[in-house]
Structure 1
Amino acid sequence: MIKNRNIYFALIVVFIFIGCSPKKYFEPTQIDGRIQFDHRLPDKIEVSNRYGATLEDGIVISENGMTQLKINKNSLFLNESQNYYIVTSDCYHIKLIDKNTQESIIIPTSTCALSASIKFNQLAVILEDNSTNIYDIKTKDILFSQKGVSSIAINSLVAAPVFLDTLVVFPTLDGRLLVVDTKSFTPVRNIIINSEKFFNNVTYLVVDGENMFAATGKRLVAIISGQEFSYDGDIQDVLYHKPYVYILTLEGQIIQLDRTLREVNKIKLPFASLNAIVIVGDRLYSIEKRGYLIELDINNFDYRILEVKGSFGKMKLDKMNFYDKNNIYYDKYYFNFNKEQ
C-alpha cells in the first residue's frame, strides 16, 4: 500500500537509529502468577488494525468477535459499521458487505482506503493520500472530498471517521480533526492535534455525548462541551472507559486521566513494551512483549504481573495482536477476560 520511496527511506533511518542504541528489556522483580491463552484461533493473525484482524486463512475478527466473513489476499478489512463489513478490494475499490444477506456494494476509489465508517446512506473514508471523502452508497457519487497534506509515514492504528447528528469528524493522517457538515458537505471546523512530520496520523477517536477524545502518537486531546484540553507524551495506545481515559506510553507507563486530561493515577514499568488495553469490571489488562500480562486494579492502581505460558514455557508476545472489549488475541491464541462468558 505504501508507494513513496521516501517512506522506505524514513523507515530505514528510524531502524538504524534504534539499532545503534543499546536495547534494554523489561525484567519484573516479582512474578505474581501464570496464565495461558486458553482459546485457539483457526489460524494465525496476519494483519490487524484498530477495528479488526485478519487471519492467514482470510477469516476476519472484528470488535464484536469472530465473524462469518472471509476475505482474499488482495483485500483488507477496515471496519464493521452499521450493518456492513467494510473491506478494501485491490486498493481501488471499497466493498460493503451486508452482514445479513452477504450482498456487496462496490464503490471505486482513487487509491487505497485506510479507514471508513457508515451512517445511513453515507460512507466516510480516509484514503492513503490523506483525502477525506464522503460517498453516497446508493449512487456511488462523491458528495465531499478534500485532500490534506500527504504523510510520509503513519502509525498502523488509523482511526475511523465518526458520524454525529449532522456532522462527520475525520481523523486525518496529518494530525487534524476535520469536521464536515453532512447536509451542506462543507467543512465547519479544523482542529489541529499535532504537527509532527512522521507518524502523526490520528490513531484514536471516540465521541461520547458532548465529550470527544482524539490522539496521535504525541498528543491526546479532549473536547468537553466545547472546551479543549491536551496531554503530551509518547503515546502507544488510548482507551476511553467512562469516566476516565487510559493511555499506554512508550516508556512503559499506564496512566489514568480524568476527562480534562489531568493525571489521576499512573504506574511505570521500566523498559516495558505494552500493547492492548482491555478493561473488564475494575481490572485493566495489557500485554508486555517479553511474555507478561499486566493486571491492574483501576480503583487503586495496584497491579499484578503474570507470566504468559506457552506449550514450551514462557511465551513471548512480540507477534501480531488485536484486542476488543473482552479479549486479547495474539498470533493464533486468545484469552477472554469476561469471566461471565
Structure 2
Amino acid sequence: MRYFFLFAVVIFLFTACGTKREYYQPSQISQLPNTPKNINGKIINFNNNIAQLNNNTFINSFGDIVKFKLDENYHIINTHQDEILIADDNGNFKVINLQGEELFSYKFNESVVSASLDGDDIALVLASNTLVYANKNLGIRILQNLGTAYAQDSRYASPYFLNTIIIFPMLNGKLAIVNKSTLKVTKEIIVSSEEFFNNIIYLHIKNDTMIASTAEKLIVVTPNKTLYFNENIKEVNANDNEIFILTKDGRIIKKDYNLRKIDEIKFQFALFSKSMLYNNSLYIFEKTGYLIKIDTDLKNFIVYKLSDAIDKKSFMTNGKFFYQNKILQFN
C-alpha cells in the first residue's frame, strides 16, 4: 500500500509539472493611440496613492511629478495638498511639507501601513491592526488595537475623514468608525471574516453610500441597508452610479449601488494588474503585457500591446499609466 501511495504521488507531481499554463491571447491588437514618453526617474515604490521615483521625485494622485527629497529609509504613505506623510519600517512616522519642514513626528512600536490627513488631524493604521487618531498640535488622541490580523494583501485602503467621523479600513476585514468628539470607536462593520489576507483594499464614499472591499468580499453600506457580494476580487472601481469588480479569473462584473448585476464580460486567462476609470472608459493593464480599454457599458473594447511594462513597477492615475521610466497618456 505504501508503494502504491508513493507511486500515486510521483504520478501527480509529474502530471502537475507537465501542465501547461495558458495565457491571455487577444484576438485583435490595436496600435497605441499615443507613444509612451520617457520621464526622468524610475518607479521604485508605489501604493494606492502615489509612486516614488529614484531621483527625489514622486507621482501624486493627479499624475503630476513632484520634487521632494525623501529622508533615508523612509517611504511615502500618502499626500494631502503640499504635505507628505512618510514612514519607515521601524515605526517612525512624519508629516513634512514640500519645503522639507517637519510638521509632526512620532515613533510607533510597529510600522504604519496607511494614513490620511485632514487639516491638523491624522488617521493611521499600524501593521499590528491598530488604529491611531492624532493631531499635529495635541499629539496622539486614540491608539486602539482591533484584534490580530494575519498576512495582509499588499494593497491598503486609506482612512477617510467624513464630517465628524473617521472611517478606518482595518487589516482584519473591518471598518472602524471613530467619533472625533467622543474619541471612541462607535461602530465596527465587518466586511469579511477570512483569517488571512483580509485587509480592506478599497474604500469609496459617495454621498450617503460607502463601498468597501477585501480580496474576498465587497460591501455596500447605506443608512437603510447593508449589502454583500462574495467574489475573488483583484480590483474595484466605482463611479457615481456603478461598481466595476475585476476578478482574479479575468472577469469584469458591473453592478449598481444595490449590487444588482448589470453586465459581465470575461477575458479568458487574463491576469488583471492595474485598473482605472477615466473618461467613461475602464483601463486595465493585464500582467502579460496588454492594455485593455473598455467602455463603461462593457460592450466595446480595444486591446493594445504594451510589452515594455511586463514585470515593471507601475502606477495608474488620472488618465496616465506610469511604468518603469515611461508614461502613457490616455485620450
TM-score for the superposition, normalised by structure 2:
0.89
Name the counterpart of 2:316: 323
Q: Is the 8 A contact 2:121 2:134 kept in 1?
A: yes
State whether structure 2 residue 331 is matched by structure 1 residue 333.
Answer: no
Name the counterpart of 2:179: 181
Q: Is the 8 A contact 2:178 2:185 kept in 1?
A: yes
Q: How many residue pairs are counted as aligned between the two chains?
A: 314
Name the counterpart of 1:124: 123
Name the SS of the counterpart of 1:315 in structure 2. helix
Name the counterpart of 2:59: 61
Name the counterpart of 1:251: 249
Q: Which amino acid aligns with 2:173?
A: G
Q: Is the 8 A contact 2:274 2:286 kept in 1?
A: no
Alignment partners' CA distance in 2, 1:90 and 1:162: 23
1:319, CA displacement in angstroms? 2.0
Alignment partners' CA distance in 2, 1:176 and 1:20: 41
Q: Is the 8 A contact 1:289 1:317 kept in 2?
A: yes
Larger radius of gyration: 2
Q: Is the 8 A contact 2:237 2:277 kept in 1?
A: no
Name the counterpart of 1:137: 136
Overall identity of the aligned pairs, in %: 26
Alignment partners' CA distance in 1, 2:298 and 2:23: 26
Q: Is the 8 A contact 2:149 2:196 kept in 1?
A: yes
Q: Is the 8 A contact 1:266 1:301 kept in 2?
A: no
Q: Is the 8 A contact 2:34 2:329 kept in 1?
A: no
Equivalent position to 1:212, from 182, 205, 210: 210
1:30, CA displacement in angstroms? 2.1
State whether structure 2 residue 107 is matched by structure 1 residue 114.
Answer: no
1:192, CA displacement in angstroms? 0.5
State whether structure 2 residue 85 is matched by structure 1 residue 86.
Answer: yes
1:96-115 residue pairs with structure 2 within 5 A?
A: 96-99=95-98, 101-105=99-103, 106-115=105-114
Q: Is the 8 A contact 2:156 2:202 kept in 1?
A: yes
**Which runs of 5 or more residues in structure 2 are unaligned?**
1-15
Alignment partners' CA distance in 2, 1:42 and 1:72: 20
Deviations, residues 15-66 of structure 1 (Å, cap 9, x unaligned): xxx9997532111122233456512232221111111111233421121221
Deviations, residues 68-101 of structure 1 (Å, cap 9, x unaligned): 22324411111112542111145322111124x4
Q: Is the 8 A contact 1:58 1:73 kept in 2?
A: no
Name the counterpart of 2:9: none
Q: Is the 8 A contact 1:317 1:330 kept in 2?
A: no
Alignment partners' CA distance in 2, 1:246 and 1:20: 36
Deviations, residues 184-228 of structure 1 (Å, cap 9, x unaligned): 111111000111122110001121120111100011111123411
Inter-CA distance 55–318: structure 2 relative to 1 (3 Å threshold): same
Q: CA RMSD in A?
A: 2.0
Deviations, residues 229-275 of structure 1 (Å, cap 9, x unaligned): 11111111111111111121111112221111222122111111112
Name the SS of the counterpart of 1:278 in structure 2. strand
Alignment partners' CA distance in 1, 2:326 and 2:224: 43
Q: Which amino acid aligns with 1:139?
A: L
Inter-CA distance 134–156: structure 2 relative to 1 (3 Å threshold): same
Name the SS of the counterpart of 1:70 in structure 2. coil
**Which runs of 5 or more residues in structure 1 are unaligned?**
1-17, 309-313
